[in-house]
Amino acid sequence: MMGKEIDIKELREIQLGILDKIHAFCMERGIRYSLGGGTLLGAVRHKGYIPWDDDVDIMLPRPDYNRFLKEFDGQYPHLRIQNAFTDPEYILPFSKVIDDRTMLEERVSEKEIRKSGVFIDVFPVDGLPPENELDRFCKRWISVRRPMIYTSKAKDNVVRFPFLRFVFRLFINHLHAVAKAERFVSSIDFDTAVFAGAISGRYGHKEHMEAETFRKYSDILFENRTYCCISAYDSYLTKHYGDYMQLPPADKQVRNHNFKAWWKN
């Protein structure tokens, strides 16, 4: 049952609590990670959350990402990994760390609501092909993800063609489909790659940059705490946002998500 609703201030406090645990865990184990996306932008421009933001993103090189997923679960009470391997209704190509004392509903569209707990998004950084091969790689990535989505137990309203869902489920095992998608997107070894990026994120081709961007790390302040970030954050943020120190127009200063969260009774 749902308990007390969680407001934006408390939501951020829970997220920071999760991030503190992730940071401590990664420092203890020598796992590379960085704040990513709007969280990294917030750290550089605001020394904390973008004022209208409501989530936290981190990114890890694929070898560190795989190790993190393998070793993190069970280390802290109330925290667990959520992804397509652990949740048959999950259809995203990256993971979350959620606080399972909470419930969160995210309205993605008029018909689709995703359920989890208060979370932090965890993105793998994978080796990528050269720019002139990126379109083909991304199209293939979309294609290999499709069976993962169609064989999931997510509500039918996330699937455009229900008959295809029936066909896919008849012939394809869901976990095999997820594993195949993972093998494809990580097929270019991060450690020897010339280019890399968190291609599972929202920025598409803007995620594509020199792999050296993700190989050196520094400390950065975020909400009066110290976390990790890629040392080459300027080139990363410029690729994503252009003149990133300039605030967007007032009508663009809006939350990216439609969340509601509660404590469990």
Residue 221 has pLDDT above 80, yes or no: yes
Lowest-confidence range among 23-32, 165-174, 204-213, 230-239? 165-174
Residue 7 domain flag: yes
Residue found by looking up tokens 């308990």 in the block:
3
How many CB atoms lie under 10 A from the CB of residue 233? 20
Residue 258 domain flag: no
Residue 251 domain flag: no
Residue 254 domain flag: no
Per-residue pLDDT at 259: 86
d(CA 49, CA 127): 29
Residue 53 domain flag: yes
Tell me, yes or no, if the pTM score tops 0.85. Answer: yes
**pLDDT tens-digit profile of 11-51?**
999 999 999 999 999 999 999 999 999 999 999 999 999 99
Whether residue 34 contacts residue 211, with contact meaning beta carbons closer than 8 Å, is answered with no
Which residue range forms the structural domain that includes residue 115?
2-241
Q: Please name the residues in contact with 16: beta carbons below 8 A apart, sequence gap of 6 or more.
A: 56, 223, 225
Q: What angle do CA 135, 137, 141 make, to 5 degrees?
A: 115
d(CA 137, CA 134): 5
Number of domains in the chain: 1
